[in-house]
């Protein structure tokens, strides 16, 4: 079976997901992009010559190749995972680059997570992984007080970062105060 070709085009979230899913290089090989692109739009060319473009599409395809159930356990969960991926791509991405709007988005996510362990269902899904990668730089920059203000989001984030294989090379986001005794 010939390998599919994946052009990342600067999309580190897809690169991280590929490593997390542990898909063998015989199935998907990464190709260098032929041009410098300002947009992070990956593309995946299958051995049949068919190509799919876009973060959500490529992420869903790679998740389907994974041995883990990352797309949910039912049609409803699959739709909810896709809904979160759409939220991430269409809403959260623009908020992350605007400090005035990011606080509101984080507060909304914090409120949503108040009665949940994961974004969808009762186990880790693609939605959790992709939002973790998107939020990592923001959570890394928050003060301990800022993280305490977002206690539900912080709990979820810490749980996802501690899930085996998710964090990979990313620096661990600390959620504890260091007490100094003199």
* Each residue's pLDDT expressed in tens, for the chain with a length of 182 residues: 578 889 888 888 888 898 898 888 788 888 866 554 556 788 999 888 899 898 888 999 999 888 888 999 999 999 999 999 999 988 888 888 787 788 999 999 999 999 999 999 999 999 999 999 999 999 999 999 999 999 999 999 999 999 999 998 999 999 876 655 54
Report pLDDT for 178: 60
| 85 neighbors 126 (Cβ within 8 angstroms) | yes
**Residues near 157 by Cβ (< 8 Å), separated by ≥ 6?**
132, 135, 139, 173
The angle subtended at Cα 178 by Cα 172 and Cα 182, nearest 5°, is: 150
Residue carrying the six token digits 């969808």:
120
CA dihedral 139, 107, 10, 28 (to 10 degrees): 90
Residue 105 is predicted with a pLDDT of 92
CA of 51: how far to CAs of 4, 43, 44, in Å? 9, 7, 6
Instruction: Please provide the DSSP assignment of 93-118 as one string.
Output: HHHHT-HHHHHHHHHHHHHHGGG-SS
The pTM is what? 0.86
pLDDT given at position 35? 54
Other CB atoms within 10 A of residue 28 CB: 19
pLDDT of residue 155: 97
pLDDT of residue 148: 94
Report the alpha-carbon distance of residue 44 to residue 50 in Å, rounded.
Answer: 8
Q: How many angstroms separate the Cα of 180 from the Cα of each of 26, 131, 140, 177?
A: 51, 34, 22, 9
């Amino acid at each position: 079976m010939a390998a599919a070709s994946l052009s990342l085009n600067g999309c580190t979230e897809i690169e991280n997901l590929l490593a997390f899913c542990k898909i063998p290089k015989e199935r998907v090989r990464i190709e260098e992009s032929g041009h410098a692109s300002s947009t992070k739009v990956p593309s995946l060319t299958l051995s049949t010559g068919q190509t799919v473009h876009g973060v959500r599409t490529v992420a869903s395809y790679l998740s389907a190749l994974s041995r883990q159930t990352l797309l949910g356990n039912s049609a409803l969960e699959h739709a909810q995972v896709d809904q979160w991926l759409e939220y991430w791509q269409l809403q959260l991405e623009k908020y992350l680059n605007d400090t005035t709007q990011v606080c509101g988005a984080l507060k909304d996510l914090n409120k949503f997570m108040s009665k949940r362990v994961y974004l969808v269902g009762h186990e880790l899904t693609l939605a959790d992984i992709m939002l973790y990668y998107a939020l990592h730089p923001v959570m890394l920059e928050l003060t301990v007080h800022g993280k305490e203000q977002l206690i539900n989001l912080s709990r979820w984030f810490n749980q996802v970062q501690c899930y085996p294989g998710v964090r990979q090379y990313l620096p661990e986001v600390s959620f504890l105060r260091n007490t100094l005794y003199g």
